[in-house]
Structure 1
Amino acid sequence: MSFSLIFNSHPADTLTKHFVTSCIMLTAFYIVSPLAIAALFGFARLVNPRTGQIGSR
């Protein structure tokens, strides 16, 4: 395989690949963010606010 194929790729192809990649990353962000926030709230419920220890309140 020649390196000229890599360096002379069409700019529209590169732009399309970046667009698809950014769409996938945004979709993953919108799915993972609420899950992470829910996990933080769930973990916060386990922590005793007086002592900071994990366990019974």
Structure 2
Amino acid sequence: MLVYEVLKKLDYAILSYGKGNEKIEGLRFSDDVVLFGPDATVYDLLYKDVLDVTP
């Protein structure tokens, strides 16, 4: 419960399982990247390292 309270004070929000599966459409990746296709989920962007593949 302590972790929850600290993160809540820092204005973090709880991410539900359903929210993590929401599709984000129309993202542009570098031409040589074939990780997700044209769409990615919230989970893909939060838990996979995509910093090196975005233009």
TM-score (norm 2): 0.18
The structure with more strand, counted as a fraction of residues? 2
| Structure index of larger Rg | 1
Q: Which has the higher contact order (CA 8 A, sep 6+)?
A: 2
TM-score (norm 1): 0.18
